[in-house]
Homo-oligomer: A and B are copies of this chain.
Amino acid sequence: MAAALALAERGRATTAPAPCVGCVIVRNGHVIGRGWSQSGGRPHAEAMALAEAGGAARGATAYVTLEPCAHDSPKGPKCSSLLIDAGVACVVAAIGDPDPRTDGRGFAALEAAGVEVVRAVHADAARRSMAGFLTRKALGRPFVTLKLATSLDGCIAMADGSARWITGDAARRHGHLERARAEAILVGRGTLEADDPTLDVRLPGLEARSPARYVLSRDGAVPNGWARLSSPQAIAELPGDFLLVEGGAGAASAFLTADLVDRLLLYRAPILIGGGCAALGDIGLADLAAAHGRWRLHDARVLGSDRLEVYERVRQI
């Protein structure tokens, strides 16, 4: 399943509105087919892996990160039927597909045809992998990541606004990789006017993966190459399923106030600024007790001399 999840990454940020799914077909301990969702979603991962496996798929086991689909489409046959027709003996799936056209029907069709189904393998990792798709299905909006780059005392700039540089090369490169994973990226009007940021992906081979640029602004014109988002609540209209909010403090606070941040990337440099610009303004917190229990650390790593912590919003969706 870990290999299937890694394959799924190949479709990252290119498959919306479909999820990025990965599939590995194994027979007698050998991988005989690999697939991942192609641009726009089709072909599906299972179709691609089955095409590679050919006749060898008979009696094999298919590992797939999402329940095989159960609906015919003009763009291709349903994967549950493809797996049955190929004679696959067992399907190991990470999570079910909430799409109402499938939603358990894929598993049911497989089992009705005598295919063994194993569920919930690496389910957490799969939910993270497809968080954008799942959030769009459950909440009707993209999954939102907020990026903050601060000093140890929580400043995003000195009092005079200077912020180059707080974090080092490794952290900034990681930030660019996160941009490549998003379909849309947003800053506040203040940051746009102060920094004129390009928000592109400056990593070799990923230059073409720069997300669509948005500025959070109630009204007014925006520069060429930018679009305007009138409020955090309007994110449902954004393209794709992953939005990266890059600041500044105003935009970050607006999204947090609206409880529209699902994931927090906190890049921290080992420096103290003192009396600088705070990372956040008011986020509508009633009292300290209300602040607790909302964020759970998912990952922590060292990036050069900086540290990255990834927090996830504790939410039942």
Enumerate chain A interface residues (CB-CB to B < 8 A): 148, 150-155, 158-159, 162-166, 253, 256-257, 264, 266, 269-275, 278-285, 287-288, 291-292, 294-297, 300, 307, 309, 311
A153 to B282, CA, bound (A): 11
A84 to chain B, nearest CB (A): 46
A307 to B275, CA, bound (A): 23
A281 to B287, CA, bound (A): 23
Which residues in B have their C-beta under 8 angstroms from that of A154? 150-155, 278-279
A173 to chain B, nearest CB (A): 18
A278 to B74, CA, bound (A): 58
A296 to B152, CA, bound (A): 12
Total identical chains: 2
Which residues in B have their C-beta under 8 angstroms from that of A273? 280, 283, 285, 288, 291
Nearest residue in B to A284 (C-beta to C-beta)? B274
Which residues in B have their C-beta under 8 angstroms from that of A288? 158, 162-166, 271, 273
Nearest residue in B to A154 (C-beta to C-beta)? B154
Contact of A162 among B279, B281, B287, B292 (CB under 8 A): B287
Which residues in B have their C-beta under 8 angstroms from that of A151? 154, 291
A281 and B270 in contact (CB under 8 A), knowing A166-B288, A287-B158, A311-B152? no
A148 to chain B, nearest CB (A): 8
Question: Does the CB pair B280–A272 fall under 8 Å?
Answer: yes
Which residues in B have their C-beta under 8 angstroms from that of A152? 154, 264, 266, 295, 309, 311
Which residues in B have their C-beta under 8 angstroms from that of A159? 282
Query: Which 8 A-B residue pairings sit nearest by Cβ, starting from the closest?
Result: A154-B154, A274-B283, A275-B282, A271-B291, A274-B280, A270-B295, A153-B279, A153-B280
Contact of A295 among B256, B266, B271, B309 (CB under 8 A): B271
Question: Does the CB pair B295–A274 fall under 8 Å?
Answer: no
Nearest residue in B to A279 (C-beta to C-beta)? B153
